[in-house]
């Protein structure tokens, strides 16, 4: 996409001032592109993310840096929804997780100790495989460490729903609470 098209897209995206739920389903995304998208949507309170090439750029971008000049990314973020199925780390085998525990810890620390007035409170992880978010998984251990500080960490096993071949690119439609009253849309996929 040419720079002028990217600029037009970001301009239109920034006009959506009432946008509070954003779903990103991406194969890969550069840190700069992700930052530009998220800066264009400052009122988002729920970010639903499925990033195939793992979540490093996401957590680095969402980590608040109070010493850096510039705007904070998604200052109103309250809920982060993570799709754990179909990631590069999982496809490569070896039991690797698509979420770095160190980057998750930096993100959570910044959100709980940063200047967001405690807005961030919830992580919801979806997977069709229970082992991806067992207590022994490193990123889960990090998240559980923040529960005593007010984090709500939900693990949702969705194996039954996924047996019927629903495409992962459209799972956000079933998760968006604003679309629950629109079953025709959810059943399209």
Over pLDDT 90: what percentage of the chain? 35
Residue with tokens 């996409």: 1
**pLDDT of 84:** 83
Residue 86 has pLDDT above 80, yes or no: no
Q: What is the CATH number of the domain that holds 73?
A: 3.80.10
CA-closest candidate to residue 87, choices 26, 155, 30, 138: 26
Q: What is the pLDDT of residues 104-136, one digit of tens each?
A: 999 999 999 865 565 899 999 988 888 888 999
Residue 183 has pLDDT above 80, yes or no: no
**pLDDT of 7:** 84
Count the domains in the chain.
1
Q: Return the minimum-mean-pLDDT range out of 68-72, 149-153, 158-162.
A: 158-162
157-182 exposure pattern, b = at least 16 Cβ within 10 A, e = fewer: ebeeebeeebebeebbbbbbeeeeee
* Contact of 129 with 159, CB cutoff 8 Å: yes
Residue 146 has pLDDT above 70, yes or no: yes
Separation of alpha carbons 167 and 181, rounded Å: 20
Q: Residue 25: give the domain boundaries.
A: 3-186
Cβ neighbours of residue 69 under 8 Å, at least 6 residues apart?
Answer: none
Q: How confident is the model at residue 54 (pLDDT cuts 50, 70, 90)?
A: low
Residue 81 neighbours by CB distance under 10 Å: 22
Q: What is the mean pLDDT of the chain?
A: 80
State which of 67-76, 90-99, 132-141 shows the largest mean pLDDT.
132-141
Residue 28 has pLDDT above 80, yes or no: no
**DSSP track, 41-84:** -TT--EEEEEETT-SHHHHHHHS--TTSSSPPSSTT--EEEEE-
């Amino acid at each position: 996409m040419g720079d002028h098209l990217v600029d037009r897209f970001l301009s239109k995206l920034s006009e959506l001032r009432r946008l509070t739920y954003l779903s990103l389903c991406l194969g890969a995304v550069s840190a700069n592109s992700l930052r530009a998208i998220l800066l264009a949507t400052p009122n988002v309170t729920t970010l639903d993310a499925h990033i195939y090439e793992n979540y490093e750029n996401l957590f680095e971008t969402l980590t608040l840096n109070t010493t850096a000049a510039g705007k904070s990314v998604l200052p109103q973020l309250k809920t982060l929804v993570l799709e754990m199925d179909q990631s590069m780390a999982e496809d490569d085998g070896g039991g690797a997780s698509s979420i770095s525990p160190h980057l998750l810890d930096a993100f959570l620390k910044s959100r709980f100790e940063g200047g967001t007035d405690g807005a961030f409170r919830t992580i919801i992880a979806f997977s069709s495989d229970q082992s991806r978010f067992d207590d022994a998984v490193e990123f889960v251990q990090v998240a559980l460490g923040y529960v005593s500080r007010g984090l709500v960490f939900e693990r949702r096993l969705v194996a039954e729903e996924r047996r019927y071949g629903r495409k992962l690119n459209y799972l956000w439609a079933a998760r968006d609470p604003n679309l629950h009253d629109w079953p025709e849309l959810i059943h399209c996929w």
